[in-house]
Amino acid sequence: MLTSGNSSSHPMSFILLGIPGLESSHFWIAFPFCVMYVVAVAGNIIILHVIRTDHTLHQPMYLFLAMLALTDLVLSSSTQPKMLAILWFHVHEIEYHACLIQVFFIHAFSSVESGVLMAMALDRYVAICFPLRHSSILTTSVVIKLGSVVMVRGLLWVSPFCFMISRMPFCPNKVIPQSYCEHMALLKLVCADTRVNRGYGLFVAFSVAAFDIIVIGISYMKILRAVLQLPSGEARLKAFGTCGSHICVILTLYVPALFTFLTHRFGHQVPHLVHIIFANVYLLVPPMLNPIIYGVRTKQIRDRVVRVCCGKEP
């Protein structure tokens, strides 16, 4: 059934298929998905709690980490409950406006996460290349302003996605062959010329992801050059260790994200099942791994969590 407006018509709801080709295994696939979601929620809440309650952690690196944890909570919670409902309870229908809201949250907070990773790379660059000026360059005020710019960029850049789609007519087909609503997946159901939408999508991708990747790349090239000039091998190892966790987080986000983005537009020969799996990995794995990586690799957070778990926290 279609609802007609002044200039558009849209279905009352869409049908999310989950993981096409693995329907018989949906029930069992949901278990690891659920574990990853629980780990993501618990891990990021712990990170936020530790940073909020320990005033010694109110430094740029940890403030950015708190932003990353909050972003991961929103990103995973905007998709995983519905995904589990599809896989376990066969609740495939999603209301039209709920689908648009999911599109907004997925793309907006993916952009925010990319921006936070860029800000963390800048923080590592200043900390390693200008250690004596780090606290004067990245003050709390600067960190808050940088975080605000990243957030506003994500919200403003992505909002037109939902507005433009909401003004377009949809075809009778309302089946989305994946587990969540996504901009390009919705565009494929539109019965109109979508070149403007696709062009804007490319603009957002290159103005956000490409810009952030370039800044991250330049930051780490300068970091590498500075580290290799250190006289002590132990100092070089410590500097590389400081950046190692951040590099792991960057790779877990950008590799599946770029694969999904490029497959939607150019990878018509890629098997659909492979595409869907990477699309799920893109939203499942980074929110789960980020608190694990930072919790294990960051001594201050690790020690504080151990104290809390052992009941030694005052």
186-210 pLDDT, tens digit per residue, is 999 999 999 999 999 889 988 898 9
Please give the single-letter amino acid code of residue 290: N
Threshold 0.85, pTM exceeds? yes
What is the rounded CA–CA span in Å between residue 236 and residue 226?
9
Give the pLDDT band of residue 313 (cuts 50, 70, 90). Answer: low
CA distance to 58, 88, 134, 156, 162, per residue, from 109 (Å): 23, 26, 28, 11, 14
Radius of gyration of the CA atoms of the chain, in A = 21
Domain 14-302 CATH assignment equals 1.10.10.10: no
DSSP 78: T
pLDDT tens across 16-25, in order? 999 998 999 9
Contacts 24+ apart (CB under 8 A), 259-266: 261/205, 261/209, 264/184, 264/185, 265/184, 265/198, 265/202
Residue 304 has pLDDT above 60, yes or no: yes
- The pLDDT of residue 3 is 52
* Model pLDDT for residues 114-143, shown as the tens digit of each residue: 999 999 999 989 988 898 899 899 999 999
Tell me the per-residue pLDDT of 197-245, one tens digit each, with 9 for 90 and over: 999 988 998 889 899 999 999 999 998 888 888 777 776 777 677 677 7
Q: Is the pLDDT of residue 44 over 80?
A: yes
Task: List 113's β-bridge partners, or say none.
Answer: none
Q: Which residues contact 270 (CB under 8 A, 6 or more apart)?
A: 263
